[in-house]
Amino acid sequence: MAKVLFVNPIIREEDDPRHVPYGMALLASIAMREGHLVQVYDANAWRAPDAVLAQILKADRWDVIGIGGITTAYRSIRHVVQMAKEVAPQALVVAGGGFLTSMPHDIMRLLPQIDVGVVGEAFVSFPELLGRLDAGSRDWAQVPGLVWRDGSGRSHLNPERPLMQDLDRLPYPAWDLFPLDVYFKNSMALFSEEGMLARRRLDVNASYGCSLICRFCFHLGIAGDLEHTVDRDGQRDVTFTYKRLIRYHSPRYVVDLVKHVRERFGVDFIGFLDENLMTMHQSSGKKWLTEIARLWIEEGLQPQCVREGVPHDPERCAGVHWGGTSHATLVSCSHLLYGYESFSPRVLKTIGKGATVETNERSLRWTMEAGIRPIPNQMIGFPDEDFDSIRDNVHAWNRLGLNALPFFATPYPGTEWYQTYKSRILGQYGGDLEAFLLDLGDATRVTAIISKKFNAVELYGLRQLMVQRDLRRIAAYEIEWNRLHRAADKEEVLPA
């Protein structure tokens, strides 16, 4: 059996750690079920100095050091794998998750310390890798879903690993390997009163997939979106398509899991991580969430305040509240997060999501009428953003009484936007992909601009004017913009 150390990299350095990494917790559990010896160092939770990481890396003779996360964890991942190779050179460094899946060959080139990568879903590929290692083999060419390097340093991507069909075969995540006290301290989710008062929140991912095809979104290669291309030299690469394979845990699995965490860890709130809980309900013939809710009540998980119709009091309320994500074309918990993105008809048409201004507004009204707090997400800087779309948003906020600080539209790797605007994006970083990866954050700052019309200075300025509802200055700048660009156009056509 292999000795495996998982390292959870730092994500959102500027914020407190709030989410146990669900995929890693599942992989740890799977590895233990297969008989391997597993430890976790949660760098995101501990935020400790490097000396601690070095100690952990030396604390045993690890066979495998596993690390993974989303693209914005790149800086931390880079640091950990560099240290791992220095301090524990005997260990096989294995990486996975969105940062690698979105660009396997690039990551293998940028981070030579990674020995093997697991592309897309790792539920089967990772234990198979451990099994091989255990059997003394380091021949990775036969394991679907892996990316690896040959003796010359060239990376190879193996054929795809089919997604697991029966998700209920998954063991429960190994939450007890993570410092839950740190996470419980940051349990509160600022999205609803119940969420705000949560003291012991854990997250559950109940379904995999999303039926939408938003141009700014990426599904980590675990939603049926991942496909391979093979070039003339036989070199494989990943591509992300509109194909979907939507998978659910059964309501029974979900509710038993929640019951388990209630009994084991005393949780009072469950955050559903599902990419889009409500679209998943919709595509299940509107039965899935209803059945979860029925079992939730049957198993005694319904919060006392909901049952008795009284205000939530965390001192008295027994039971488990929950929250998740929704989409503007549906509403049917405590809070629902909505990615409304924009209230401009033109922009909405180009996002690919199928939402309209009407569905956005309707869902907001319905959600509020149902006593659920809607949390709208807005963005600025779409490829087709213009003065009229900016104004449309301000008008909608005024109409609906919304306050929002829009995010900046960001082409994260793996998204359609990244594919479409790749050369433009890299052009903004002097062709240096790593510089772009290191710059990415949570889209509250401008990174690579994909707006055809506005530059960074304009996007910051316009966002500020939107927040202040300053339509007069937006109109004045539109005149200025047109004047400047007319002048620039004229200069361009002047003979040299």
Contact 217, 344 (CB under 8 A): no
Site membership for ligand B12, residue 443 (CB under 6 A): yes
Site membership for ligand B12, residue 102 (CB under 6 A): yes
The one segment of 103-111, 273-281, 363-371, 430-438 that binds ligand B12 by CB under 6 A: 273-281
Closest residue to ligand B12 in the complex (CB): 23
Smallest separation (angstroms) from ligand B12 to the CB of 30: 9
Taking each continuous run of H as one helix and of E as one strand, the counts in the chain are: 20, 17
Rounded alpha-carbon distances, angstroms, from residue 324 to 130, 188, 279: 34, 14, 11
Q: Which is nearer to ligand B12, 27 or 257 (CB)?
A: 27
Which conformational region is residue 209 in: left (phi greater than 0), alpha (psi within -120 to 50 degrees), or beta? left
β strands within 106-182, DSSP E: 116-118, 146-149, 155-157
Q: What are 37's strand-pairing partners? A: 3
User: In the numeric block, which tokens belong to residue 167?
Assistant: 């998700």
Smallest separation (angstroms) from ligand B12 to the CB of 346: 22
Site membership for ligand B12, residue 454 (CB under 6 A): no
User: In the numeric block, which tokens belong to residue 8?
Assistant: 């959870």
Site membership for ligand B12, residue 412 (CB under 6 A): yes
Kindly tell me which residue out of 41, 126, 269, 338 binds ligand B12, with binding defined by CB under 6 A. 126
Pairing of strands 37-42, 3-8: parallel
Site membership for ligand B12, residue 378 (CB under 6 A): no
The CA R_g of the chain, rounded to the nearest whole Å, is 24
The one segment of 35-43, 151-159, 217-225, 385-393 that binds ligand B12 by CB under 6 A: 217-225
Q: Rounded to an integer, what distance in angstroms lies between the CA atom of residue 302 and that of residue 268?
A: 10
Rounded alpha-carbon distances, angstroms, from residue 207 to 97, 275, 341, 358: 17, 8, 23, 28
Q: Which is nearer to ligand B12, 208 or 397 (CB)?
A: 208
User: In the numeric block, which tokens belong to residue 230?
Assistant: 């093979």
Site membership for ligand B12, residue 380 (CB under 6 A): no
Smallest separation (angstroms) from ligand B12 to the CB of 454: 19
Site membership for ligand B12, residue 222 (CB under 6 A): yes
The one segment of 213-221, 236-244, 347-355, 470-478 that binds ligand B12 by CB under 6 A: 213-221
Pairing of strands 335-341, 247-248: unpaired
Q: Which is nearer to ligand B12, 251 or 271 (CB)?
A: 271
Q: Which is nearer to ligand B12, 173 or 312 (CB)?
A: 173
The one segment of 35-43, 69-77, 185-193, 327-335 that binds ligand B12 by CB under 6 A: 69-77
Q: Rounded to an integer, what distance in angstroms lies between the CA atom of residue 262 and that of residue 265?
A: 6
Rounded alpha-carbon distances, angstroms, from residue 124 to 34, 141, 189: 11, 15, 33
The one segment of 254-262, 268-276, 328-336, 452-460 that binds ligand B12 by CB under 6 A: 268-276
User: In the numeric block, which tokens belong to residue 119?
Assistant: 């592309």
Site membership for ligand B12, residue 441 (CB under 6 A): yes
The one segment of 31-39, 61-69, 130-138, 480-488 that binds ligand B12 by CB under 6 A: 61-69
Site membership for ligand B12, residue 96 (CB under 6 A): yes
Three-state DSSP class for 3? Answer: strand
Smallest separation (angstroms) from ligand B12 to the CB of 226: 11
Smallest separation (angstroms) from ligand B12 to the CB of 220: 5
Contact 254, 173 (CB under 8 A): no
Closest CA to 340 of 348, 332, 352: 348
Total number of residues that touch ligand B12 (CB under 6 A) = 44
The one segment of 75-83, 185-193, 287-295, 406-414 that binds ligand B12 by CB under 6 A: 406-414
Contact 100, 119 (CB under 8 A): yes
Q: Rounded to an integer, what distance in angstroms lies between the CA atom of residue 158 and that of residue 142?
A: 8
Kindly tell me which residue out of 83, 220, 254, 337 binds ligand B12, with binding defined by CB under 6 A. 220
The string over 224-246, giving b where at least 16 C-beta atoms fall within 10 Å of a residue's C-beta and e elsewhere, is bbbeeeeeeeeebebebeeebee
Please say whether the dihedral angle defined by the alpha carbons of residues 92, 176, 11 and 459, taken in this order, is positive or negative: positive
Site membership for ligand B12, residue 217 (CB under 6 A): yes
Kindly tell me which residue out of 5, 38, 45, 70 binds ligand B12, with binding defined by CB under 6 A. 70
Contact 29, 172 (CB under 8 A): yes
The site string for ligand B12 over 15-54 (x = CB under 6 A, - otherwise) reads ----x-xxxx-xx---------------------------
Kindly tell me which residue out of 16, 298, 388, 442 binds ligand B12, with binding defined by CB under 6 A. 442
The one segment of 64-72, 187-195, 391-399, 466-474 that binds ligand B12 by CB under 6 A: 64-72
Site for ligand B12 in 180-209 (CB under 6 A): 205
Q: Which is nearer to ligand B12, 93 or 474 (CB)?
A: 93
User: In the numeric block, which tokens belong to residue 150?
Assistant: 């040959």
Site membership for ligand B12, residue 97 (CB under 6 A): yes
Q: Which is nearer to ligand B12, 277 or 364 (CB)?
A: 277
User: In the numeric block, which tokens belong to residue 97?
Assistant: 């998750």
Smallest separation (angstroms) from ligand B12 to the CB of 344: 19
Residues binding ligand B12 (CB under 6 A): 11-12, 19, 21-24, 26-27, 66-72, 94-99, 102, 118, 121-123, 126, 205, 217-220, 222, 273-275, 407, 412-414, 441-443
